Amino acid sequence: MPNVFDPRVFAAAVPHDALRELRDDAPVSWQDEHEVGIWPAGPGFWAVTRYDDVRHVLRSPADFSSSLGATQIRDPDPDDLPFIRRMILNMDPPEQVRLRTLVTGAFTRRRLEKFAETVQERAATLLAAAAGGCDLPKDVTDDLPLQNLSDLLGVPAADRALLLEWTNRVIGYQDPEHATVVTGADGRPVNPRSPAMLADMFGYAESLAERKRAEPADDVMTALVQAEVDGERLTGAELKMFFFLLVVAGNDTVRSALPGGVLMLLENPDAYRELRERPELLPSAVEEMLRLHPPVLTFRRTATRDMELAGARIAQGDKVVVYHVSANVDERRFADPFRFDLHRQPNEHLAFGQGPHLCLGAAFARLQMRAFFTEFLRLPVARLDGPPRRLTSNFINGLTSLPVRW
């Protein structure tokens, strides 16, 4: 059976041949969760690779729980689970619906759209500073979503570097470039997502929340501390975990999508040329970028009962991991799936998930992508100036280096 677990496999390239083989022959296949470097082996999981099955899992929280074991392939420490479950990402309905109802008001269209002009000006400034050539992630696309997210949250400019540090710590723990391994008293590595390892982030979230209560502003953190539905407010733990989610997911998804989209254009010169001539096609181009280079590769659920899915007999308690990156190129759903098609309609990709956990920040991510590529298309034609380097991760579809020259 092809190995689509090892993060080092994804560091080389998305294993599309292996994923196609699984879609064709074993759409729900057992994957051994073997030891990788200093990280110990796990119990294994079911990899779900076809579009219809991925969508079914994401839309069926009663059968496939986000709460039982959280949403990462690697099991959290059992002692950490109660706290981790205070994050909306790791909740099931009806509790998840209650929290989503509370926070949805923080992401109003008016609040997001007021950033559009600033985001585009910021993209233009960063790209102008990289005139001639640059390493796109390091010089442009790491910084752009970080600045935008800081403004949206209401984080002071002086503290922005903290957000990047926390993001790299959580997302890059499998990657030699970003990983800082800390071992516990037993000599085993401590999961960087452990609350104990994120005490500085949670402490900052508490102090920022207190500041917003005392000095309200038109930002998401103020909206979160003020959010109330039927007399209910976010608890302290929920607020801290929501800050964690916004900082890490809100930053890293766009941070991955921007260079991924540029790479899509550089690898598809005919589409790149057409998009330069017809910039009105940019919204559909953004959807193709998200389909072919989804920021998130996988998400985990846990089976709540014995069941069968696509011929596989899944036991209660088994881990079930959906592969967005495979579903988005499933030949059963998308004609000529590896073609970058500016005219693809409909384009119902799963880059932002599906069901109750459909990404709350999808509109802001699309806004940032449209603003960035509006400015990118105004530049001379770009070309690759060296090989891209990918993040070592089976979760985030990241590029840590993309040398580009104009």
pLDDT in tens, 4-23: 999 999 999 999 999 999 99
Percent of the chain with pLDDT over 70: 94
Between vectors from CA 219 to CA 246 and to CA 172, what angle results, nearest 5°?
20
Between vectors from CA 404 to CA 16 and to CA 329, what angle results, nearest 5°?
20
Question: What predicted TM-score, i.e. pTM, was given to this entire model?
Answer: 0.92
Q: pLDDT digit string (tens) for 261-301?
A: 999 999 999 999 999 999 999 999 999 999 999 999 999 99
Report the greatest alpha carbon distance in the chain: 60
What is the reported pLDDT for 242? 87
Asked whether the beta carbons of 76 and 358 are under 8 A apart, the reply is no
Between vectors from CA 210 to CA 205 and to CA 211, what angle results, nearest 5°?
95
Q: pLDDT digit string (tens) for 136-176?
A: 999 999 999 999 999 989 999 889 888 888 887 777 555 55
CA–CA dist 222, 210 (Å, integer): 10
Q: Which residue has the higher pLDDT, 126 or 40?
A: 126
Picking from 389, 293, 237, the residue whose alpha carbon sits closest to that of residue 399 is 389
Angle between helices 199-214 and 160-171 (to 10 degrees): 140
Asked whether the beta carbons of 248 and 166 are under 8 A apart, the reply is yes
The listed CATH number (3.40.50.300, 1.10.630.10, 1.10.10.10, 2.40.50.100) that belongs to domain 7-320+330-405: 1.10.630.10
Q: Which residue has the higher pLDDT, 58 or 181?
A: 58
CA–CA dist 314, 316 (Å, integer): 7
What is the reported pLDDT for 206? 93
pLDDT at 373 over 70: yes
What does residue 354 show for φ and ψ, rounded to 5 degrees? -165, 160
What is the reported pLDDT for 105? 80
| Cis status, amide bond into 346, omega within 30 of 0 | yes
pLDDT at 184 over 60: no
Instruction: Sketch the domain layout of the chain as residue ranges.
Output: 7-320+330-405
Mean residue pLDDT of the chain comes to 91
